[in-house]
Structure 1
Amino acid sequence: MSEDGRFAYEPLLDVIDGRPAGVEVLRRRDRDRTALLAPRVVWGTRQIAEFDAGIAITSVLHDPRYDSTVPLHVDICADAVVAARPRIVQLPGVLRERMDGMPIPPIVLEIGPAVSAAPAPAFAEGVAELRAAGFAIAFDGVGRGFGLDLVAELLPHSVKIDAELVARLGVDPAADAVVAAICDVARACGITVSAVGVTHRDELAALRDHGITRAQGPLLAAMQQHPGVAGLAIPVELIPRVQAAREAAPLRTVLPSVASMAKPALSLPDTVTADVVRAAFAAHPHAGSVLLTDSARRPTGFIDRNRFMMAISGPYGHALYGRRRADSLADPPRTVGPTTDLAAALEYCLADRSRAWDDLVLLDGSLCCAGVVRVDDLMQVATGMYTEADAGSVA
């Protein structure tokens, strides 16, 4: 929590490799929670929307010590998308000023159900406008506040399953059926699914059974007083050695999409210098690449760690490149869509042998960066599938 207890920061973690996939700023006081406050006051939709947008902006600016390479998740209600988006659009610029010119993190707007009203046409228009302004879009509490038809139509970057539903997994067949339906739609559309409020190991196991790879909750990481995630990871005993396949059959008839294997990109604005990229690699030793993006999060350049370090560490390398724009050392990003399957992705990797091991850049429906897909992850999944098939034929 922050010093006055008003806001807290909860990491979102990849439950396969244990690393941070984002950090969410949470409202700790009831007076800041629009859904709790609205029933007590006589407000119209616009007042509710303006209040919610104002608290969202305040929460982001409260402690701007962000890691610019980890997405920042900000909660807003659907009403604010409809009636207060001019204020929300100002958020990146205001945050950039508070960070004194340092790169700001990618911002994910976690949109919750409407408190008052959010007509579907107006909501769709608002989502499109916010996405065009460079925000990634997530739906919070999907299945409770957003129908699956709307999810398929608007194609958010990610959807979240709430804690109440998570707690019923493996106990209530109806809950498992709902989550299975959400995951099926998300998988077909290339949407990432995550879960909140994970408290027990059996909940984590149930999420993995459904193929959900991102989660947050006290079992995985405690709420923090600051937004930094350096050195944070899931306890090693909670990380599986090999990702479990969702299907029980030994051979999958439908190849998995690359969206299910995407990891957060180490992304920086395409205006940074090579020195900034070198510092980012030093702060994130596990990252194999840096993705350069424009102001709308569209990828413009790809920097492979090994090629970059060879260039900048060679004779006169720092003198030549250190203060120059990093895009002078970048390659064109190799991009794939959210519905690209495993076989197509591997074929794309092998098309250019000189870059066969470069990460693939996953794009969402607006051609913005939705993460990177590592080639070794593709190979691991492919090898696991053939191993399962061999085991099934022997049996």
Structure 2
Amino acid sequence: MAARCLGCANGTELRFAFKMAFQPIVEVAQDRIWGYEALVRGPNGESAHSVLSQLTDDQLYRFDQAARVMAIETAGKLFHDPAARLSINFMPNAVYEPRACIQKSLEAAKRANFPPHNLMFEFTENERMKDPAHVENIVASYKKLGFLTALDDFGAGYAGLNLLARLQPDLIKIDMELLRDIHLSSSKQVIVSGIASIARQLGITILAEGVESEAELTVLRAAGITLFQGYYFARPAFMSLPAIANLGGRLASG
């Protein structure tokens, strides 16, 4: 077994509680739920900001571990589809050594009887990475362990083409600002179509998040995108799986 992550063990105790909400990721062409993203919430469903605003630098490691465990254990109770993926956000700067820091997640998956190969870890970097080589090592290590990796907010801030070329994640989530009202913007359509073409050639799957209308969905499907997430299908549900709308009526939660 890999060594325990000392940073996770030695971090300052968390003095706040939190729980999870789940939002579905749907594969429209197959009329199915592909997976769910786990989203941090306050103990009574308060916003993620209400939790993250209490976080201090010396709590990052412990919080990252606790959030992963909470997401996996809750998903183990809620998910009924053995093929449904669970997408978990993580902080690259809260990982000392990938194989050491993943041990608690693997133990949680075993306790919850959740298939580890159904885990996807997504990360975002809205500020320039202090150590891109460290993040590259995390992504490569997670791939070797059989997890999916995703780069969130692609097209915003520093999450651009150089980062994509270096990290080669399994999946990218296009920044919502590029998708908002895309049916009304020819420039956005050209940009998203170009991103989709690049991703296909690199063997990377695209997920369009923040979809709020049928008009947006139609344009994005025409660009060849297959995975979607947003209020058009379902809002996040607190400690439960939401019913899905606008997908043919044949989907069941889980």
> Is the pair's TM-score, using the shorter chain for normalization, greater than 0.5?
yes
Is the contact made by 1:34 and 1:48 (CA closer than 8 Å) also made in structure 2? no
Query: For residues 115-164 of structure 1, what are the alpha-carbon distances to aligned partners after superposition, in whole Å with 9 as ceiling and x for unaligned?
Result: 68541111111211222222111111112242223223332111111322
Corresponding residue for residue 106 of structure 1:
118
Q: 1:118 to 1:78 in 2, by over 3 A?
A: farther
Q: 1:138 to 1:34 in 2, by over 3 A?
A: farther
Residue 97 of structure 1 deviates from its aligned partner by: 1.5
Q: 1:34 to 1:212 in 2, by over 3 A?
A: farther
Corresponding residue for residue 86 of structure 2:
72
Amino acid at match of 1:48: L
Q: 1:136 to 1:235 in 2, by over 3 A?
A: closer
d(CA) in 2 for partners of 1:58, 1:132: 24
Alignment gaps of 5+ in structure 2: 1-16
Is the contact made by 1:64 and 1:98 (CA closer than 8 Å) also made in structure 2? yes
**How much is the aligned-residue C-alpha RMSD, in angstroms?**
3.3
- Is 1:12 the equivalent of 2:20? no
d(CA) in 2 for partners of 1:134, 1:34: 33
Question: How high is the TM-score relative to the length of structure 2?
Answer: 0.74
Amino acid at match of 1:163: M
Q: 1:199 to 1:31 in 2, by over 3 A?
A: closer
d(CA) in 2 for partners of 1:88, 1:165: 33
d(CA) in 2 for partners of 1:10, 1:151: 25
Q: 1:41 to 1:62 in 2, by over 3 A?
A: closer
Q: 1:55 to 1:175 in 2, by over 3 A?
A: same
Q: 1:10 to 1:136 in 2, by over 3 A?
A: same
d(CA) in 2 for partners of 1:190, 1:68: 25
SS in structure 2 at match of 1:146: coil
Amino acid at match of 1:195: A
**Larger relative contact order (CA 8 Å, sep ≥ 6):** 2
Corresponding residue for residue 332 of structure 1:
none
Amino acid at match of 1:187: R
SS in structure 1 at match of 2:172: strand
> Matches of residues 252-263 of structure 1 in structure 2 within 5 Å?
none
> Matches of residues 90-129 of structure 1 in structure 2 within 5 Å?
90-99=104-113, 103=115, 106-113=118-125, 117-129=129-141
> Matches of residues 163-182 of structure 1 in structure 2 within 5 Å?
163-182=176-195
Is the contact made by 1:61 and 1:98 (CA closer than 8 Å) also made in structure 2? yes
- Is 1:215 the equivalent of 2:210? no
Q: Select 2:57's aligned residue among 33, 39, 43.
A: 43
d(CA) in 1 for partners of 2:129, 2:64: 13
Corresponding residue for residue 162 of structure 1:
175
Residue 13 of structure 1 deviates from its aligned partner by: 0.6
Is the contact made by 1:69 and 1:105 (CA closer than 8 Å) also made in structure 2? no
Is the contact made by 2:72 and 2:108 (CA closer than 8 Å) also made in structure 1? no
Question: How high is the TM-score relative to the length of structure 1?
Answer: 0.50
Q: 1:92 to 1:234 in 2, by over 3 A?
A: farther
- Is 1:136 the equivalent of 2:136? no
Q: 1:55 to 1:204 in 2, by over 3 A?
A: same
Is the contact made by 1:75 and 1:111 (CA closer than 8 Å) also made in structure 2? yes
- Is 1:88 the equivalent of 2:110? no
Is the contact made by 2:74 and 2:239 (CA closer than 8 Å) also made in structure 1? no
Residue 203 of structure 1 deviates from its aligned partner by: 0.9
Residue 50 of structure 1 deviates from its aligned partner by: 4.2
Q: 1:196 to 1:56 in 2, by over 3 A?
A: same
Q: 1:227 to 1:64 in 2, by over 3 A?
A: farther
Identity of aligned residues (%): 26
d(CA) in 1 for partners of 2:234, 2:47: 26
Structure 1 runs (4+) deviating above 6 angstroms are none
Is the contact made by 2:40 and 2:51 (CA closer than 8 Å) also made in structure 1? no
Q: How many residues align?
A: 227
Amino acid at match of 2:70: T
Q: 1:189 to 1:103 in 2, by over 3 A?
A: closer
Is the contact made by 2:20 and 2:40 (CA closer than 8 Å) also made in structure 1? yes
Residue 193 of structure 1 deviates from its aligned partner by: 0.5
Residue 187 of structure 1 deviates from its aligned partner by: 0.9
Q: 1:228 to 1:6 in 2, by over 3 A?
A: closer
Larger radius of gyration between Structure 1 and Structure 2? 1
Amino acid at match of 2:213: H
SS in structure 2 at match of 1:110: strand
Query: For residues 181-209 of structure 1, what are the alpha-carbon distances to aligned partners after superposition, in whole Å with 9 as ceiling and x for unaligned?
Result: 32122011111101111111111112112
Corresponding residue for residue 72 of structure 2:
60
Corresponding residue for residue 7 of structure 2:
none
